[in-house]
């Protein structure tokens, strides 16, 4: 068996010199391919993965490498949710996302504010057969007043599953969002006693709600699972609906996403 120190030195050298092109790295005679990534986030993700692999072969891991795994996010700023929950008295459906995007990406002061997020285009398509119904003509923003009036009329409530977060990469990705303080869902639902449907619109939100409701397995996209009050602490019987993310990062055409959301309103 080759000396562990030699393997460690070789891995460090190869990573630093060949990282920008295809190369072969030998880890205990198991090949792995390094890729050149052209984005900062992917470079960091790859480097983190590489270090995890490298640690398995480092002869002095017990004394040195624990330093690599100390919490690094504590120095990052904590963001408090910038919006109050939107809870009409007639609310029958509560939409839960994860957390709003950075304010620089907002096109209005309301939920799903990013102009390239298709949530309000989906609503326009479903209720008015017009994906642009809630878009201000000639401008890259949504019509906040029209959206609020629509939501109040249809009994749609909105909030997110996190109240305070850290953005580990400074973007809106769920993968780089650290929840510091989750939303008190019990208190939230107490404000909307006629609401018996909770809808998640993203992966992190779905995971949080699944844990809160004691659901063993996520429902398939576009479907729901019934959660009797006796099985959780949120106050009353609930339907947990899981919808595809309205973010354009989710690889599905807008019309197909709308088909899934249609099931929610027709059930």
Pairing state between β 238-242 and 79-80: unpaired
**Amino acid 74: pLDDT:** 65
Q: pLDDT tens, 112-146?
A: 999 999 999 999 999 999 999 999 999 999 999 99
DSSP 156: E
**Phi (first) and psi of residue 206, to 5 degrees:** -65, -40
**Structure tokens given for 71:** 């919490």
* Rounded Cα distance, 42 and 141, in Å: 30
**222 near 242, Cβ under 8 Å?**
yes
**Amino acid 49: pLDDT:** 46
Q: Report which of 152, 120, 114, 117 is spatially closest to residue 133, judged by C-alpha positions.
A: 120
* Rounded Cα distance, 123 and 129, in Å: 9
CA distances from 188 to 84, 136, 155 (A): 11, 31, 15
Segments of the chain scoring below 50 in pLDDT: 1-10, 12-42, 44-46, 48-49, 51-71
DSSP 217: S
**Exposure string over 211-221, b if 16+ CB within 10 A, otherwise e:** ebbebeebbeb
Q: pLDDT tens, 168-177?
A: 887 767 778 8
**Who contacts 226 (Cβ-Cβ below 8 Å, separation ≥6)?**
237, 238, 239, 240
CA distances from 187 to 81, 85, 182 (A): 16, 11, 12
* Rounded Cα distance, 186 and 188, in Å: 5
């Amino acid at each position: 068996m080759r000396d562990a120190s030699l393997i460690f030195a070789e891995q460090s050298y190869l990573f630093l010199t060949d990282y920008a092109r295809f190369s072969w790295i030998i880890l205990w005679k198991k090949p792995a391919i390094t890729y050149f990534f052209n984005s900062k986030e992917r470079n960091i993700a790859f480097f983190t993965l590489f270090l995890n692999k490298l640690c398995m072969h480092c002869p002095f891991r017990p004394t040195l490498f624990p330093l690599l795994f100390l919490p690094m996010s504590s120095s990052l700023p904590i963001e408090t949710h910038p919006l109050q929950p939107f809870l009409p008295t007639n609310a029958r459906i509560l939409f839960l996302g994860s957390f709003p995007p950075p304010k620089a990406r907002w096109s209005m002061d309301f939920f799903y504010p990013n102009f390239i997020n298709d949530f309000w285009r989906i609503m326009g398509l479903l209720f008015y057969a017009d994906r642009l119904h809630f878009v201000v003509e000639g401008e890259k923003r949504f019509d906040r007043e029209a959206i609020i009036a629509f939501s109040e009329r249809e009994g749609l409530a909105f909030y997110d599953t996190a109240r305070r977060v850290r953005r580990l990469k400074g973007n809106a990705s769920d993968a780089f969002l650290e929840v510091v303080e989750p939303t008190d869902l019990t208190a939230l639902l107490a404000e909307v006693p006629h609401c018996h449907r909770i809808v998640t619109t993203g992966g992190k939100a779905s995971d949080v709600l699944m844990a809160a409701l004691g659901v063993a397995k996520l429902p398939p996209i576009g479907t729901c699972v019934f959660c009797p009050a006796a099985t959780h602490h949120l106050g009353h019987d609930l339907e947990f609906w899981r919808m595809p993310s309205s973010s354009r990062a989710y690889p599905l055409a807008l019309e197909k996403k709308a088909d899934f959301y249609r099931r929610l309103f027709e059930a």
